[in-house]
A = this chain, B = another copy of it.
Amino acid sequence: MTRQQLVEQIKKKKSYLCVGLDTDITKIPAHLQSHPDAIFEFNKAIIDATKDLCVSYKINTAFYEAHGLKGWEAMQKTVEYIPEEIFTIADAKRGDIGNTSTQYAKAFFEALPFDSITVAPYMGEDSVAPFLEYKGKWAIVLGLTSNKGASDFELQKTGDAYLYEKVLSTVSKWGSPDNLMFVIGATQADEFTNIRKITPDHFYLVPGVGAQGGSLKDISEKAMNKDCGLLVNASRAVIYASGKEDFAEAARKVAQEYQQEMAGYLERLNN
């Protein structure tokens, strides 16, 4: 998917919501747990209930790999089920030496039809470059993450800058705002103004709203750019909104609340 297509979706739906399909079989409603294809059935219902409210789905590969072959199959069925106009993210945090990253790019961009993949920057340019060679596909590189461990290395100083700032300024030279995004955690709102100075034009994938405590208002006020420039992810807050048979309706309700709040911030952007 091109940047232009993504921006058009955001304008059309008045939403920059990404729904995270971190589907944990122990947390899905009891009536589905015995279904032979429980994870996919759950995802399908969530997608059907939210697809007009979000512009992206993020599939966290760990939750699928935890079920081995069957999990990988559920992941494949899920990404294939997502409507084509919705931006798909393999939240896979991959990255290795060049010839290995090339194989990961094949895995997620050819064997599976994802639009994008999250990538860890530690190993440097040749670990990211292979993901940038596909037209219409995106690498979403870790910048400043939402978790406590962000302080261990990302927030260590390298010269005058934090490591994550060095990552943003360096990695942004390897691609363009048309094929590169960054992961910036919603819990890091204090840093957002500074982050926008380093990467004014890029989209950010922003996890950490909802269960992890980040504020949609803070992020939107501090980090929107002229094309919106944000995909704000909510996973657990949406997909586990109810643990009962009404889980899909409950997910829709929470997604709708996010979408309506987002519509307000987008409107201010246009005025």
Question: CB within 8 Å of B: which residues of A?
Answer: 22, 24, 60, 62-63, 65-69, 71-73, 76, 91, 93-98, 100-101, 103-104, 106-108, 110-112, 120-128, 142, 145-154, 156-159, 163, 166-167, 170
> Chain B residues with Cβ under 8 A from A96's Cβ?
60, 62, 91, 93
Q: Taking CB as reference atom, which chain B residue is nearest A73?
A: B69
A157 near B154 with CB under 8 A, answer no
- Whether A101 contacts B68 by the Cβ 8 Å rule is no
Cβ-defined contact, A72 with B68, below 8 A = yes
Closest 9 pairs between A and B when the two form their complex, measured CB to CB: A124-B149, A124-B152, A62-B103, A65-B107, A68-B111, A66-B106, A97-B147, A66-B103, A120-B120
| Count of identical protomers in the assembly | 2
From A24, A63, A107, residue with most partner B Cβ within 10 Å = A107
A124-B100 in contact given A68-B107, A166-B156 (Cβ < 8 Å): no
Which of A72, A96, A122 is most buried by chain B, counting CB atoms within 10 A of its CB?
Answer: A122
* Most B C-beta atoms less than 10 A away, residue of A67, A149, A156, A167: A149
Residue of B nearest to A108 (CB): B65
Chain B residues, CB < 8 A from A159? 156-157
In the complex the two chains form, is A111's CB within 8 Å of B65's CB?
A: yes
Q: Complex: how many Å from CA A238 to CA B204?
A: 42
A72, A110, A126 pick with most chain B CB within 10 angstroms: A72
- The reply to whether A101 and B150 form a contact with Cβ atoms under 8 Å apart is no
**CA separation between A122 and B149, bound complex, in Å?**
9
Verify A123–B147 contact, CB threshold 8 A: yes
Given the contacts A66-B103, A126-B149, A149-B124, A95 and B93 also touching, CB distance less than 8 Å: yes
Q: A62: which of B76, B104, B142 is its contact (CB, 8 Å)?
A: B104
User: What is the minimal beta-carbon distance from A180 to any residue of chain B, in angstroms?
Assistant: 15
B62 near A123 with CB under 8 A, answer no
A100:B149 contact, CB within 8 angstroms: no
The verdict on A94 contacting B62 (CB below 8 Å), with A69-B69, A123-B142, A142-B123 known, is yes
A76, A103, A106, A159: which has the most chain B beta carbons within 10 Å? A103
Contacts of A154 in B (CB 8 A): 122-124
